[in-house]
Structures are given as structure tokens and as C-alpha cells.
Homo-oligomer: A and B are copies of this chain.
Amino acid sequence: MTRERLYLYDTTLRDGQQTQGVQFSTAEKLRIAEALDRLGVDHIEGGWPGANPTDSAFFEEVGQTRATLTAFGMTKRAGRSAENDDVLAAVMNAGTASVCLVGKTHDFHVTTALGITLEENVENIRASVAHLVAQGREALLDAEHFFDGYKANPAYALDCLKAAQAAGARWIVLCDTNGGTLPHEIGQIVGAVIAAGIPGERLGIHTHNDTENAVAGTLAAVDAGVRQIQGTLNGLGERCGNANLTSLIPTLLLKEPYASRYQTGVTMEALEGLTRTSRMLDDILNRVPMRQMAYVGSSAFAHKAGLHASAILKDPTTYEHVDPGVVGNRRVVPMSNQAGQSNLRRRLAEAGLEVEPGNPALARILDLIKTREAEGYSYDTAQASFELLARSELGLLPEFFEVKRYRVAVERRKNKYDRMVSLSEAVVVVKVDGEKKLSVSESMDEEGCDRGPVNALSKALAKDLGRYQALIDDMRLVDFKVRITQGGTEAVTRVIIDSEDGEGRRWATVGVSANIVDASFEALLDAVRWKLVRAGA
């Protein structure tokens, strides 16, 4: 049976950026676009060129993608032609193959928010879409407030869509802008639109999560005939967020009737990268990933109830609706029982440490991880620190060198030109092979910019480690994440450091302390020690 094509339109970079507290840099937008392209979405909406400097920069810097890059903007304003609208011109200048313009379809908004006549608004939609088509672009109309508009004045709302259709819009996207329309209404109204002569092959759906029904509303629209789905990774978006593609994609690929009826651009192989992609976004946002997220959350396959956990050991399908591996996630069974140890052995094997079942070090390692996590450590991401902890308990970690002390000073004062400048200086004292070594470094980079105390410490620590020095010369710090978390009853700082070496290895280490510099130093030390283990020192 031939499966019909469903198209996925991602708006993480545009509507997702409307999330309170979210402000992507251009570099972050490029990273997210690359991940979306790897996942296999059909459209990547990159932002509103001209309205935002980072959006304009994104379109300039983004390279070739498999997905169709789309610029977002609004229909031309009344009283000028599409050709002479400077806001629209800025959108066109991004040069994307596809352009999506928001246009109003709710009569109340046309007269109240825009203050123009209903006819002027229809003409703005028609002329703007015609302009896109004349310029050889794929045209999308983002029909703002369509569902509320249809409920208030169905004839007018449909007129707006038909104007876009007649002008050659490839997609007409039905938006539930305020997020208040329930799934059954969405299904009914989509049915009415199709009955009025706009085929589902040209319709898209764009929902918001204000009643916690964005995913269900999207599925109801697909059931009723739309063929384009708009959403965001992790359900980012204005207010309560957009429809969550991270939930929708696995449902469409794994659940009936969708799996047999439709095909998307996401392969089963790409689906295995879904959990990783979701976590990457949280990482960019420096957010703690939501454990309870459908499919990709770290609790999504966690079995806490005693009855469930024991049944899972007999047969995983007893309490799992899909196999966690299919979305790149994994099963979690509480550490306290038998399964905790076999999980640990699997993780150790991944680090090249084969430990026989029943080795008493296993229980000690589990206890230590529990204690450390209660103090604020997190070994989920800091795999290298986890490995060092386990090696230490297994007696497989040489001491290499000893840190006797360190000191770092941060100073800010006026320079001779009467400008405020800052500089950090770090001294680290280590003992290697019985010999004491003092190293000092400062935080200035090659461009004369002060990179701060952790940078100075990192350089001083890696400056002279005697016979180990040659082994760490190719390593560098590539990322640094800081989070205030709870350690027992006190707020502590957790620092995660990502390091890289010349052979392309990348590893993460963790440090925790009430003192941020101290937490950073602990993570730096682990980074160096892990590298020495890998280098066979």
C-alpha cells in the first residue's frame, strides 16, 4: 500500500524563540538547523529577516540544507504595493526558496488590531502571495487566528484563505493562534475548509498548547485531512508552547493508523537520534531536560512502581508502549534492585571496563553515585567523571599528580586610557613524580579579551605536568555549563566542562561546590585525568 506523504514544518527558530527567556544567538540557530536537517524535517523556518539582527545573520550564514529554508514575515501593509513594502522586502532579501507570511483571517482582528477594512485585508493577502509567486518563491500563508475567525465569521475567514489559494499559495496554514480551540473543533473546522474547496494537500496545521491539547489538535487536523504539520522541538513557543514535534514524530512513525497510512521525511534511523536532539536543545538553552517528556524524557521509560518494575524484568512490553531504543531513549529501573547493577555493568563496559557480576565494587559504586547525586553531582552527562569514579573504586586509577594548592585573582581597574579593564591571574602548584611545580597563567586571550578566572586556571593547570605534559598538549576546553542546584539543603554550583583533543575525542566532566571557581577546578582536574587515562599514562 502506498503511504501518503505528510510534511513536517519546524518553527523552533521562529515561534520557538517566542518562548519567555529564550533568545538564540546566530551560532545556536545554526546548530539547531543542522540538527533539524539531520532529523529530516521538510521545512526549517529560520526567523523574521529584518526584524531581528540574529535572524538576518542566520540566513546569511546558513549553508546548504536538505530541508527547505523558509523566511517568516507578514503580508504587505495597506496603502502600498507589495513591491514597495520595506518590511516585506527585508524578508524577500533573505533569498530563501520558501516564504511564509502571516495574514489575518479573523474579522475582529482586521478591524481592531490592524484598523483597516475587511476588503483591504483580503487584498493584502492576495497581493502578497502573488508577489512571492511572481518572484519564484514557494508561498505559505500563515492564517492567523483562523479557528477563532472561522467561529466568528466563517465566510470571511474562508474568503481570506481562498484569496491566498487563488494567488498560488503552496500551503495555507490554519493557525490556532490563541491556543484555545479543542481537538474536536479543530477536526470539524478542517473538514469544513476542505468541503469549501481547499484540498488537504494544500493545508497545514499550527496549534498551541494553552489547554495541553496541541499534539491532539494536530492529530485531529491530520485525521481531517491536512498534510503539513507545524511544530517545534520540545514544544518551545509563545506562552504554553507550540505543538511538540518531539512527541508528534514518534507517534506518526510508530502508532496506527499513522504509521501505515503516512510517510514523513524522518527515517527510522533518524528517529533514533530524537532523544539526543531534544537534549541538545536543552543543553543550548541551559535548561534541565524535563524528565516527563513523552518518548524522550529521562523518566519516559522509568519504572518505579514495584509491581511494574518486576513485571518489566519478565517482559518489557508489559509496561512499555514502545521500545525506548527506537527513539534513542533508554529504560530506567531503580538502582536499588538487581537491574541497577546490570545497568551499571553495561555502562562500565561502554567505558571499556569489564566487571564480573557480583563484584562488591559494583554496590559501592552505586552507593557512591547516589550520595554524590544527592550532593548535586550529575553523572548522566558527565560520563568521563563517572568513569573516573568507577575506576577509583575498582583500583584502576593511577594518581598521576597531586594538586597542592591554587590561587586565582580577578581584578578590575581603570587602565591608563581611563577605561575599566579586567584581568585574572592563576597560580597552580602540583607535585609530579616527587617534584613540585609552580605554574602561572593569565586570562587574556590572543585578541586581548579577558576570558576570566576559569580560563586562567585551566591554562595554569595544563602548563607543566612534567612527563605527562606532552600527553595533554592537544586538549582544549570547548564548553562550560554552570547551573545552580541543590546539594543537600544548600544551593551549590554545578559545573560541567566539555573537552576535546586532537584525535576528535570529546568528553564531559563535572564539579560541584558552593564556590563556582572551586567547582570549575574540580571539573578541569577530572578532564585532565580522564585524558591521561585514555592516553595510557
Whether A64 is near chain B, meaning CB under 8 Å from some CB there, is: no
Q: What is the distance, in angstroms, from A13's C-beta to the closest C-beta of chain B?
A: 14
List, in ascending order, chain B residues with CB within 8 A of A337's CB: 23, 52
Instruction: Pick the most buried of A21, A244, A449, A491: most chain B CB atoms within 10 A of its CB.
Output: A21
The copy count of this chain in the complex is 2
Residue A320 lies at the interface, judged by CB distance under 8 Å to chain B: yes
Residues of B with C-beta under 8 A to A336? 23
* Contact assessment for A209 and B21 in the assembled complex, using a CB-CB cutoff below 8 Å: no
A1-34 with Cβ < 8 A to chain B: 18-21, 23, 25-28
Please, which residues of chain B bring their CB within 8 A of the CB of A230? Answer: none
Residues of B within 8 A of A179 (CB): 321
For A292, give its contact among B112, B235, B307, B378 (CB under 8 Å).
B235
Contact present for B300 and A240 (CB under 8 Å): yes
| Bound-state Cα–Cα, A308 to B74, Å | 13
Assess the B211–A251 pair: CB atoms within 8 A: yes
Interface residues of A in 144-185 (CB under 8 A from B): 177-180, 182-184
Q: How large is the interface on A (under 10, 10 to 19, 20 to 34, 35 or more residues)?
A: 35 or more
Known contacts A299-B20, A321-B179, A374-B54; A410/B483 CB under 8 A: no
Cα–Cα, bound, A520→B386 (Å): 30
A239 at the interface (CB under 8 A from B): yes
Residues of the B chain whose Cβ atoms lie less than 8 Å from the Cβ of A315:
112-113
A534 at the interface (CB under 8 A from B): no
Distance in Å: Cβ of A388 to nearest Cβ of chain B: 17
Cβ distance A234 to chain B, nearest Cβ, rounded Å? 10
Q: Does A58 contact B (CB under 8 A)?
A: no
A508-522 interface mask toward B, CB cutoff 8 Å, 1 = contact, 0 = none? 000001111110010
Question: Do residues B20 and A293 form an inter-chain contact, with CB atoms below 8 A?
Answer: no
Q: A109-B318, A180-B321, A484-B481 are in contact. Are A338 and B51 (CB under 8 A)?
A: yes
Question: Among residues 486 to 503 in chain A, which have CB atoms less than 8 Å away from a CB atom of chain B?
Answer: 486-487, 489-491, 493
Listed stretches A130-138, A198-206, A347-355, A401-409; interface member: A401-409
Q: Which residue of B lies closest to A114 (CB)?
A: B311
Q: How far is the CB of A176 from chain B (nearest CB, A)?
A: 9
Cβ–Cβ contact B211 & A518, under 8 A: no
Question: A280-301 vs B: 1/0 string, CB under 8 Å?
Answer: 0000001000111111011111
- Indicate whether A389 reaches chain B with its CB closer than 8 angstroms: no
| A491 to B498 alpha-carbon distance, docked (Å) | 14
Contact A20–B515 (Cβ < 8 Å): no
Contact check, B515 vs A334: say whether CB atoms are below 8 A apart: no
Chain B residues whose C-beta falls within 8 Å of the C-beta of A52 in the assembled complex: 337-338
Going nearest first, the 7 A-B pairs with the smallest beta carbon separation are A180-B321, A25-B486, A216-B216, A452-B515, A405-B413, A212-B247, A482-B482
